[in-house]
Structure 1
Amino acid sequence: MGAKRNGASIRRRILARRLRELREQAGFTLEAAAPLLDTSMSRLSRIENGQQKADVHLVKSMLDLFDVGGVQWTELLELAREAAKPAWYRAYGLGDNSYVGFETEATQVQEYASGFVPGLLQVAEYSRVLYEASPLPRSAEDRERDLAVRMIRQERLQSDDDPLQLVAIIDAAVLRNPVGGRAVHRAQLAHLKTASEWPLVSLQVLPSGQGVHPALASGFLVLSFSHLGEPDMAYVEHALGATNLWKEPDVTLARLKFDRLRTLALAPGESRDMICRLAGEL
């Protein structure tokens, strides 16, 4: 169920890092390499930072200049082709550096949700209510586009070809908040109960009355890219926007906080029972 959709964000980062390493190993500075490659130093810098696509012809020129051949030549050209492919979410107006771009290539998402149900577990009406309540000026068409993207992302939770593992911790207050009214609330709780039984989903509830805990300030996510050999990424959404965190100390702290929250949360079975109990009260 659900064929793999293409993404480019992480592959672009991998290619950028490897090209930068090859240039440095070959003893070239950016200033020296750029004119030899018939490009500008600023463009080469953006490519090496993963901010701009590197076309296959330029990558070939770089590999020639840096005296790279054999298996490495073949691997890097294939990586360049993969990184240059238009990602599926571009058709919905999203860029490669959007959260969706990174999630597309992740194998696991760990999320602590403190304000609302994780997007990957929201029913359509719940998502629609949140989009309509957003202070960002968006047309009805834009909101429906964003909703379509969210529904597409959710398919991976039941995909055989492109699976995404979700480990979610939801604050109990989120489950009691009747977003969208009683009918939407009931449908959302029913969906959480169903999704908690899927093999790729682990769902735990953080009960009320914890006092001080590691993530009082906000929810957060940790994305893993184990199949690509890339380090994890942390992501934090807040009232004024969102932040991607790549530095190892930041990501390590996020992982430690998440692990601590898992020990404080109810076990998956107990969490499912709580969700069923709350649904029965509606």
Structure 2
Amino acid sequence: MGEPNLPARQMGRQLKRMRERLGMTQDEAGKPLRMSTSKVSRIEMGYLPPYHDFRALLDRYNVIVSDWDEYISAYDRAKEKGWWHHYGVGNRGFLPIEAEASKVKVFQFGYIPGLLQTEAYMREVFAAARVQMKPKVLENQVTVRLLRQLRLTDEPILQLHAIIDEYALRKPILGRAERQEQLRHLVERARQPNVTLQIVPEDVGAYAGQNGNLIVASFDDSEEPDIAYVEHIFGSVHVEKEAEVSAAKLAFKDFADRALDAEDSIALIERL
């Protein structure tokens, strides 16, 4: 079974609705097909089954063969690999979530978020990775991040709310000229209607955001729950439990309340 993406999760929910309309339990649906309850459950969570298992489920749910085309087309869409696979980047990390999201809230303490980085800045970040990248891998990572940034200007437009600690703006990652370019780039992005940028100023003092970074993604599909994402030195964690995502949203609101508003944030960056 492949990793669940948005089309696969949507298809899983559709299969679940078909089963429930017939009044079947997961065990009753799967038993005649030699599918375990856990397998049916995973399919309904968005893990793609083999093609023949999928067809068997359609038949089990009384979908007539003449109506199969739309479901098979949806299955094929769910099987498609993201554009980033062309650059040797897999489905781990936040990229597949971001590609499907309509709105992203991101808090960064130590550095500028990837969607707002200049090429010079991202090269420095990638070059400083714990495991040194080969030149080709580094170039692919830069290309992918630049392509990700197109979501801020091209359809489907991503709504971005970014909160950055002032420490990240002052951190000497770049030389003077490149640093000025990065700060100007932030101002330009912050003036876009789909981008909200706030800065937590130095005089705020100690607060919970100093413990790390946080991202919350939302989707156009009303049935698709929000997802929280946290990166750490050894990898990353996807958080999908409702209570934990709610806690992440409350933390983000706290950081936003401590930060300057959008106009004052732009003014601070311009002073720097």
TM range (shorter): 0.7 to 0.9
Contact 1:11 1:79 in 2 (8 A): yes
Structure 1 residues 213 and 75: CA distance shift in structure 2, 3 A: farther
Task: Report whether the alignment pairs 1:156 with 2:151.
Answer: yes
Structure 2, unaligned runs of 5 or more: none
1:126-137 alignment runs, 5 A limit:
126-137=121-132
Partner residue in 2 for 1:104: 99
The amino acid that maps onto 1:104 is A
Task: Report whether the alignment pairs 1:9 with 2:5.
Answer: yes
Contact 1:189 1:276 in 2 (8 A): yes
The amino acid that maps onto 1:35 is R
Output one character per residue of 1:175-222: Cα deviation in whole Å (capped at 9) or x when no partner: 111213222211111100111111111101011132343423111000
1:68-107 alignment runs, 5 A limit:
68=63, 76-107=71-102
Contact 1:12 1:50 in 2 (8 A): yes
- TM (normalized to structure 2)? 0.87
Partner residue in 2 for 1:144: 139
Provide the rounded CA distance (Å) in 1 between the counterparts of 2:111 and 2:216.
17
* Residue from 164, 173, 177 that aligns with 1:170: 164
Provide the rounded CA distance (Å) in 2 between the counterparts of 1:69 and 1:252.
41
The amino acid that maps onto 1:100 is L
Identity over aligned pairs, percent: 34
Provide the rounded CA distance (Å) in 2 between the counterparts of 1:253 and 1:28.
32
Partner residue in 2 for 1:122: 117
Shift of 1:244: 0.6
Shift of 1:27: 3.0
Output one character per residue of 1:87-109: Cα deviation in whole Å (capped at 9) or x when no partner: 21121223345411111010011
* Residue from 194, 198, 207 that aligns with 2:201: 207
The amino acid that maps onto 1:230 is E
Contact 1:111 1:169 in 2 (8 A): yes
- TM (normalized to structure 1)? 0.84
1:53-72 alignment runs, 5 A limit:
53-54=48-49, 57-68=52-63
Structure 1, unaligned runs of 5 or more: 1-7
Q: CA RMSD in A?
A: 2.7
Provide the rounded CA distance (Å) in 2 between the counterparts of 1:268 and 1:28.
49
Structure 1 residues 69 and 259: CA distance shift in structure 2, 3 A: farther
Report the more deviating stretch, 220-229 or 186-195.
Answer: 220-229
Aligned residue pairs, count? 266
The amino acid that maps onto 1:26 is M
* Residue from 239, 247, 260 that aligns with 1:245: 239
Partner residue in 2 for 1:196: 190
Secondary structure of 2:161's partner? strand
Task: Report whether the alignment pairs 1:27 with 2:22.
Answer: no
The amino acid that maps onto 2:112 is V
Shift of 1:240: 1.6
Secondary structure of 1:234's partner? strand
